[in-house]
Amino acid sequence: MSWFATLSRLTVLTAVLIMSSAVMALEPTDEQRQAAVESADSLRYGHYADVNFDEAWSQNAFDRYLDILDGQRAYLLQRDIKPFNHLRTELGRVLKNGELDEVFALHQRASQRREARLEWLLDELDQGLDFDFDGNQRLEVDREDAAFATRESELETLWEKRLKNDALSLALTDQDREQVEDALRQRYEGQLSRIEQTEPEDVFGLFMAAVTGSIEPHTAYLSPRQGESFDIQMSLSLEGIGALLQTDGEYVKVASLVAGGPAERAGVLKPADRIIAVGQEDEDEMVNVIGMRLDNVVDLIRGPKGSKVRLEVIPAQAVDTTRSHVVTITRDTVDLEDQAASSEVIELERDGEPHSLGVINVPTFYVDFDAWQAGEDDYRSTTRDVAEEVEKLKEQDVEGIVLDLRNNGGGALQEANSLIGLFIDRGPTVQVRDARGRIQLYGDSEAGTLYDGPLGVLVNRLSASASEIFAGAIQDYGRGLVLGSNTFGKGTVQTLDQLNHGELKLTRAKFYRISGKSTQNRGIEPDITFPSLIDPERIGESSLDNALGWDSVRDVQYRRYGQPEEFLPALKKRHEARAEDNPNFVYLERQSALARKLREQHTTVSLNREQRKKEMEAQEAEQLSLENQRRRALGMEELDEWIDAREDAMAGSHQDGINDDKDDDDEDMPAERAQVLEAAEILLDYAGLAANTRLAKG
């Protein structure tokens, strides 16, 4: 491109920016100013952390606000930010006094830049795309650590590449030029329309997200509209897909799935999947949601029970954003029955002798609060349902029980305490420390145990909060083995503070194990670790900005029921021998390592069509090779395309837990099913070693 052409484009962009500045500026309302003041007081005097709105905090919050407004450094110039630089040291005063005018003005400047850029993109489309997709250009994938540009020409070069990449990504899905241009026009017009519909509440919400996020990730401001949605979610009456979503740059990411919800039952979504478009069952066109506000995406996905929603998804394991696919989920409500514990018996053979092990799947820690508060005797709860399953398994003479808490994100604290009580004879279960350092001790006060045999707890990165309390207590008491991968690490307690306008979700306390160790940030470390496809750098407390750190308090008095650690060397040796010969375990280990390697390598993408295809094909060839190695070892039919492996995984993923319809010897089982079977093998080893030790001592 000639310097004259570049200058002409910059002139157009500057003109558009000048025109955009005529758009009416948004101003904070009196209610929002008061909400800011009240939030400052709540954060200073109610938060668990020592919140001090000093210059260091102001710097952090200001940078976070800029990240929210322009996280990829693609719109704002340094000269746009310069008039607001004094806020770097004064944002604490702004919040405490409700002086929001300059905060809104900075948002206005960012909106003007974004509007101007989108108008420029649409103008480029009107002129017709003329990309040949050759040459050696590459586009940086993640620019969050880049500096803000000093000149328009820097952003001009960036956006020429971004437009080319957007077009190439669509062209690689076999869309022709007209389809590509139409899809991009819909995307950019949608983003422009959303900017034009921005309201003061949107601006205030973004600023408050910067304020609360600079303190810790579970503290958040909820607007009146968001507070209503939060209440609906807590009552489990939300008619949608049963997925918790969060913003990830310009994308909306699946944070977790609701146990027993439509998405989990369908098995078509996984944590860290990114949703890029949403479509309704009665509409052909799908709405592109890249860059859309999170609550608007939620509104598109939510709908009447029984209706279908289509989602275009980039799988968590996909390295290239062009490798998306469309899934369909039937909307439904989630009730306690969908979250009820269930059990199965796994039959193993050792030295020609049959052995039976029980597995109880615990999706969440639930209780029917309405029935409980009404004084009903037969209210449903996790503890009561698990107790029924334990009795069933005892009647079948199982030699040990595994509690499967994988993907269990927590729930009612009282249920974690009472569930521990099924396996110990009275004692403390968890310590809760508030901001003043006061510690409250919770525990099981009922005498006796329901089950005192060999016990295992299976966890993964999505086991959080109450699940971590349960697993930590079982480990501290020496009551059983914890198996799987490191847990999420959410060891904090939140409450809602009512404001004059909206609500503030506030972290007020931290959980500590009876041994004194925090569950925060580090989570629970298993006694024996299994490989996992969940990337801890993308999912988990330690992956979140400003997460509170790990620490400890004094332990409490409690008696240990056993010394499982004495058997760990022998148990690990036997487990490793089985894992080396288990194609599913080998696959999980290698696939996890490969996914990590590909993510580390994927810092830029080629804008050359042939080179891009080669890089994509090379990455998928590695993934396909691993899958086919697993299939060959299991005697299964090999696949020709990696996309077939993804479809197979989606078809079988909902069977990873309790699976009554599938024989344990079925070679076509999902790879993660191997974890359940291996947990049973380890527990059988443990039961045998413990029994031999008791005989030797007796």
Q: Are 324 and 273 in contact (CB under 8 A)?
A: no
Among 328, 203, 326, 341, which residue's Cα sits nearest to residue 276? 326
Handedness of CA 500, 505, 506, 511 (dihedral sign): positive
Residue identified by tokens 């590509």 is 180
Phi-psi region of 352 (alpha: psi -120 to 50; beta: other; left: phi over 0): left
Q: Is 465 a catalytic residue?
A: yes
Indicate the residue type of 250. Answer: E
- Cα dihedral: 40, 547, 412, 374 (round 10): 10
SS3 593: helix
For residues 244 and 462, give the distance between their C-alpha atoms in angstroms, rounded to a whole number.
Answer: 12
Q: Is 2 a catalytic residue?
A: no
> 343-367: b or e for each residue (b if 16 or more CB lie within 10 Å)?
bbebebeeeeeebbbbbbbbbbbbb
- Radius of gyration for the alpha carbons in the chain, expressed in angstroms and rounded: 27
Catalytic residue among 476, 527, 656, 685: 476
Question: Which residues have C-beta within 8 Å of that of residue 658, sequence separation ≥ 6?
Answer: 342, 343, 344, 359, 361, 404
Catalytic residue among 164, 270, 490, 517: 490
For 291, counting Cβ atoms within 10 Å of its Cβ (0-12 exposed, 13-18 middle, 19+ buried), the class is: middle
Catalytic residue among 465, 485, 606, 653: 465
Q: Is 193 a catalytic residue?
A: no
CA angle 518, 519, 524 (to 5 degrees): 125
For residues 260 and 574, give the distance between their C-alpha atoms in angstroms, rounded to a whole number.
Answer: 34
Among 43, 95, 28, which residue's Cα sits nearest to residue 65? 95
For residues 251 and 263, give the distance between their C-alpha atoms in angstroms, rounded to a whole number.
Answer: 19
For residues 136 and 231, give the distance between their C-alpha atoms in angstroms, rounded to a whole number.
Answer: 52
Q: Are 286 and 312 in contact (CB under 8 A)?
A: yes
Q: Are 585 and 579 in contact (CB under 8 A)?
A: yes
Q: Are 667 and 632 in contact (CB under 8 A)?
A: no
Tell me how many helices (H) and strands (E) the chain has: 21, 19
Helix (H) / strand (E) element for 384: namely helix 382-395
- How far from each other are the two terminal CA atoms of the chain, in whole angstroms? 88
Please, which residues bridge with residue 130 across strands?
none
Residue identified by tokens 């974890």 is 675
Please, which residues bridge with residue 482 across strands?
457
Residue 520: phi and psi, rounded to 5, are -70, 135
Helix (H) / strand (E) element for 252: namely strand 251-257
Q: Are 543 and 489 in contact (CB under 8 A)?
A: no
For residues 504 and 40, give the distance between their C-alpha atoms in angstroms, rounded to a whole number.
Answer: 10
DSSP secondary structure, 260-277, as one string:
TSHHHHHT---TT-EEEE
Catalytic residue positions, numbered? 465, 476, 490
